[in-house]
Structure 1
Amino acid sequence: MSYEIEKIIQQHDIILFDAICVLCNGWAKFLIRYDRQSKFKFASIQSPLGEAILKYYGMSTADYSTMLVVYNGQRYVDSSTFLKVMQQLKFPFSLSNIGYLVPSIIRDFLYRRVALNRYQLFGTTSSCLLPSQENRSHFLEHAIHEA
């Protein structure tokens, strides 16, 4: 399936997540609950669409070690992904902006330690987070097909 990635990233704020990672699935479920306007759209890195977005940004599709967030067409990786998403949520989550006071070299080091060891620390799942009637507005594939 061919996607017009440039058009997609201009139209949507996107979170690419590792669908087999328990921590990543938990993060996605948290955002589905608290991103009530469905501002961010999810795509799995294991999906053809997720892989196409990774390739567009010149990122590996084989060795995935960071969540990717596309916000207003800008790419964010490492600790900035978490902070960028949290600052878009309502209070009290927006208070996480205080994290920007920590130098990015320290934030990113800590983020990468967790990311590189996420399977050992949190495990993997054999069932992917799938769009349901209630949450499909949060998924990029659905948003593209609805447009």
Structure 2
Amino acid sequence: MSGLIFLSFFDLEKLWNPSRKEKVSEYAKKETNNGVSKPVILFDGVCNLCNGWVKFILKREKNQQYLFASLQSETANKLLVNKNIPQNLSSIILIENNTIYHKSDAVLRICRNLNSPWHLGSFFGVIPKILRDFIYDIIAANRYRWFGKQQKCELPQTDQKMRFLEL
């Protein structure tokens, strides 16, 4: 699981300048406002490891099914309001079919929808959740120290901008 995340870390892109706010695409608004089919992945927007994981997903997912938002965004706050999820930015969150997955459950659920051979990462689900989440928590607690932290959120590539809910 962490190996998949680590592999995605080495794809560098330009940083996004937050003073240059761009309008959220109508496509993304429609998908989230209507509560329709597209699952949403919430991630720590300043974490290098988390940004690497998002890039990894974008390159390997089936059918461009995920939408993305930074946990620091207003969109994430709106999606998580009244959901009993602590907003301490220490976990990736997947919202799929009105169900919220976090920590290792979110990672495994995302792996199920990646192209071969990466979908095999979902087989780590045979490991007890308490152990998976323990390992996840160790990585999450050290992610800034091991992989670094950015001052600004990254700018997605032009063809991927419509997949991000708040830029």
TM-score range, shorter chain: 0.7 to 0.9
2:121 to 86, 93, 96: 96
How many pairs were matched up? 139
Alignment of 1:30-69 (within 5 A): 30-35=56-61, 37-61=63-87, 63-69=88-94
Deviation at 1:89, TM superposition (A): 1.2
Higher relative contact order (CA 8 A, sep 6+): 2
Structure 1 residues 28 and 8, CA, compared in 2 at 3 Å: closer, same or farther? farther
TM-score (norm 2): 0.73
Structure 1 residues 31 and 131, CA, compared in 2 at 3 Å: closer, same or farther? same
Give aligned-pair identity as a percent: 32
The amino acid of 1:19's aligned partner reads G
Moved >4 Å (runs of 4+):
6-10
Matching residue of 1:107: 132
Structure 1 residues 97 and 20, CA, compared in 2 at 3 Å: closer, same or farther? same
RMSD: 2.4
Superposed CA deviations along residues 46-105 of structure 1, whole A, max 9, x for unmatched, are 1110122232423233x2211110122211011011100010112111111210111111
CA–CA distance in 2 between the matches of 1:42 and 1:119?
20
Deviation at 1:119, TM superposition (A): 1.1
SS at match of 1:126: coil
- In structure 2, list runs of 5 or more residues that go unmatched: 1-28
- In structure 1, list runs of 5 or more residues that go unmatched: 143-147
TM-score (norm 1): 0.83
SS at match of 1:57: coil
Structure 1 residues 83 and 73, CA, compared in 2 at 3 Å: closer, same or farther? same
